Amino acid sequence: MSRIVYNPTPRLLIATTNRDKIGEIAQELSGIPYAIVTLDAWPHLSPPAETARTFNENARDKARYYAAATGELTVAEDSGLEIERLDGAPGVESARFGGPAASYADKFALIYEALRAKGAADTTARFVCALALVNGRQLLFQTAAIVEGRIASGPRGSGGFGYDPIFFYPPFQRTLAELSPQEKASISHRGQAFRALRRFLEAGPTSRLNA
């Protein structure tokens, strides 16, 4: 009599509460041989303090924290906007720039005010996304991706989220908020990083990630 072996689909935790990011990430990972779960399954889990000074360190720290707290194979990302004439600000403080109560309209106003004070109305900028994949305490995969552009003369567009309305992408001659979701995904920092993760997850047996 043959024995039935039950092989459950391995799970992958996307460790962010940002619904816009989850939407973009889920699109990039659609069809992978993993059941994607989110932090909605752990509603009382407090986020970790983000004290590192680089995107790579923050991504690793968050992935290790959530992997330890949940027992899940976990991917975490840290991303933000770096503006050349502001010495790389807001950088890793992008989400917290202007304080906890600041809206993105407030953040935009602070950025344009700082640029005017420097006489730097035209400046290059880039979006950065670093991600880390962790199983227990083991770092399995890490990557980072960037998209280069400029700060637009003013916010434009109603798509995207975060700093997209002020990030002008020269090859398309539009801000990221003026792009279709498909256009944005094709060039975005987050899209590039999670496509690299997808290739890693699809490259080998899932058993090596869940041993």
pLDDT in tens, 26-65: 999 999 999 999 999 999 999 998 889 999 999 999 999 9
- State how many domains the chain has: 1
pTM for this entry: 0.90
Is residue 106 among the annotated active site residues? no
- Look at residue 7 in the predicted model and tell me its pLDDT: 53
Whether residue 3 lies inside any domain: the answer is: no
Instruction: Tell me the per-residue pLDDT of 80-133, one tens digit each, with 9 for 90 and over.
Output: 999 999 999 999 999 999 999 999 999 999 999 999 999 988 899 999 999 999
pLDDT band at 205 (very low <50, low <70, confident <90, very high): low
Does pLDDT of 1 surpass 80?
Answer: no
Whether 207 shows a pLDDT value over 50: the answer reads: no
Average pLDDT over residues 162-168: 98
Question: What tokens appear for 150 in the block?
Answer: 């400029």
- What is the CATH number for 151? 3.90.950.10
Within a domain: 1: no
Amino acid symbol at 189: H
Q: How far is CA 10 from CA 34, 197, 198, 207, in A?
A: 5, 16, 14, 9
> How much is the average pLDDT of 67-82?
97
Task: Give the pair of three-digit tokens for residue 181.
Answer: 């979701």
3-class secondary structure for 172-208? HCEEHHHCCHHHHHHHCHHHHHHHHHHHHHHHCCHHH
pLDDT of 210 reads 46
User: What region, left, alpha or beta, does residue 206 occupy, with left being phi > 0 and alpha being psi -120 to 50 degrees?
Assistant: alpha
Q: Which of 20, 61, 78, 164 is catalytic?
A: 78
65 assigned to some structural domain: yes
The domain in which residue 91 lies consists of 11-208
Whole-number average pLDDT of the chain: 92
